[in-house]
Structure 1
C-alpha cells in the first residue's frame, strides 16, 4: 500500500470511521446546501467545470464532484446510471468526504495533503467504496492561494489511467485562470488611488510572499527571507513607522542585534527600493494590505465565518521574534474566541479540522455539546475527545 494511503487509513481509524459503514454522512441539508453553494466562490466556475470535466465524466459513465474546503460535496453530476450507483455509497450532494468522516478517498486525501491524489479500489478505507476509483485535485484562489475546494472524478476501472488525473488537473488550472480573470475584470479602480501598493501573505507561511505594484504598470512577487518577512510584517502593522530601537526590541529576543538589524534593513531597502521603503522612521511607503490584516478586519466587522475562511494558519509560525509572536498569538486567540462565541458547529469543525486546532480540547467539547448525538460530527468530536483524554492520561 502506498505510504500516503496507509497514513490516511491510520487517520481514518483514529477518527473512528467504521470500515463497514455503507454511506458517507450528510452534513448539509437541502436548505443549507443551496445557501452554501450560492455563496461559494466556485459557483462562478462550476459551469466551466461541468462543461469540461462533467461532460467527460458523463461520456465514460462516471461522476464529477466539486467539494468545498470542508469536504462537503456541493455539486455532483454524471450519467443517470452513474449517479444512481453513487447514491449507494452516499456520494451525493451534501455528503461529507473528509477522510475523518468518510475514510480514505481521493477528495478527502487531496484536501488533507493539498495536492492531487488518487485512490484506487481496495485503497479505500470503507468496504462499500472498494469497487470504485477516484482522482481529485485541490482548487485554490489564484490571488491568495487559499484552498477553495476540490475537483473529483469517480468511477470504475476507466478512472485508473494517467490521462484521468491529467484531465482533472488541467480542468483545475482552467478554473483558477477563470477566477483570476474575473478578479482582474472586477477590480475597482478606486482601490488604486495612484499610490504604490504592497500585499503581504504571511498566514501559515514561514517566509512571507510579497506582491508589489508601483502604479506605473510594474508588478512583481517575491518570497522574502525569514528575517525580512518579520521586518515587513512588523512595519505593515505599524503604519506610522518604527525607529531602529523599536524594531530591535520587536525582532530580537535579546539585546545586541542593532548592528545586524541595520544591515538587514539596508538589504530590505535595496530589495524593495525607495518607492516602497522609507526611513526615519522605518516604514512602508505604500498602500499596505496583508492576509492577517484582512482576518482582523473581518473579525472587527463581525464576519467570523469569513475570518475562518481567510485564516490559512498562524502568522509566520516559526518566527521567534517577540513582536511577531505577540501578533501571532493575539490574532489566533482573537479568532479562536470569536469561533467559540459564535456557537456554530460548522465554524468549530473548521477550527478543529486544522493542524492548529486539532488538539483544542475546549473547542471539541463545545462542538460536541452543540451537536445532536446522532450527528456524524458528534461522533467525530466524541472520538477526538477520547483520544485527547488518552494522550493526557499517558
Structure 2
C-alpha cells in the first residue's frame, strides 16, 4: 500500500505538520518529485493541491530543470505602472508591518505580486535577497505558475487559496532549497484577486504556523481596503450632497472606478459602468444614455443630459497667502452644477501650475527636471502624481501627465 503524504486538503494545509522532521520530509518529497517527473512509481502521493499543479505544468510542457524568472523582467516604467494599477499600494506598508516577525530574523523575504504573478515589491535582509536574486526572484519577475512552476504565488493564484510549498513540492528543481507561503488578496468590492502576499526563505525555515499568519494578514489587508473604500465614498458623498441638491435633473456621484457615493432621482445601484477614457464633458452611459460629466474630488458627478447644452469643467489655480503668511496654490473646480476647492501642498501646486502652462503634458522625467533640477527623480514624481490623481480624478491624465482634454484650465 502506498504511503500518503496527505489525503485531505483543508482550507489551510501547512506543508509540514507540527512535530514532523522537515529534513526527513524533504528527502521523501525529493523521491516523490523524481518519480513523478520520470514517470516512475512514487513512494508517496503529493498533496492534492501540489499534484494538481504538477499535472497542469506537465500538460503545458514546463521543464523541471529550466532556469526561470530573470529573463522575463518588466521594464522600470511598466513595473511602476503595474504597482499603481494593482490596487495593493495602499496596503504594502501594513503587510510589511504585520509580517515583520517573519522577516526580522533575516532568513525570509516578503514579496507582494499582482494578479498576473508579477513581483511588485519585496523586502528582506541582504543575505536572503541575494539568494533570491540567484533564482531571479526579483521585482518585475514573472512568478506565475506556468512560468516558474509550482510556487506559493502562482499556485495561490490558480487555486484561489492560501498555500505553503515546501522543498521538492516546487516543480522546478532549482527551487527545492526554498519554502514559500502565499495568500491571495481579493478586492473586497468585487471579489476579484488583486494579487498575493508571500513569505519565502530557505527550506529549513519552514514552520506550520506561517501559513495561518500569512493568511490572516491577507484577510486583514482586505478589511483595510474595504475601510479605505468606504472612507473615500464618505468624503465624496459629503462634497457631492449639496451639489446634487442643486442639480437640475437626475444625477449620481461616483468615484473614479464608478462606485456610487450618492444619487438624486436615479434608481439606486452600487456601481456605474464608466465609459473608457471618461472625462469632463458629454459621454454616453449604457444604462443612462447621454450624460454630462463634471469633476468631483476623487470622482465624478454624472448628470443625465438635457436636450441642449454641454457640461464644461473649469479649473482655476490661484496663488494665495494663508493666515500664517505662507503661499500656496488653491484649486477651484467649477461646473454647471456647482464647484469645490482644494488647497495644495507647495509641491502639488507647482506640479499643477506646470501642467497648466504645458497643456501638451510632461513625462515623469521632465517633471523631475522641473521640480528637482535632475531627470532621475521619476519614482518621487510618479508617487506625487498618484496622490494628485486620487484627489482630482480624471481631470489629470497619464501618458504623458496632463490635464484632460476639454478641461478649461486657468492659472491666476
With normalisation by structure 2, the TM-score equals 0.48
Would you tell me which structure has more helix in proportion to its own residues?
Answer: 1
State the structure with more CA Rg: 2
Would you tell me which structure has more strand in proportion to its own residues?
Answer: 2
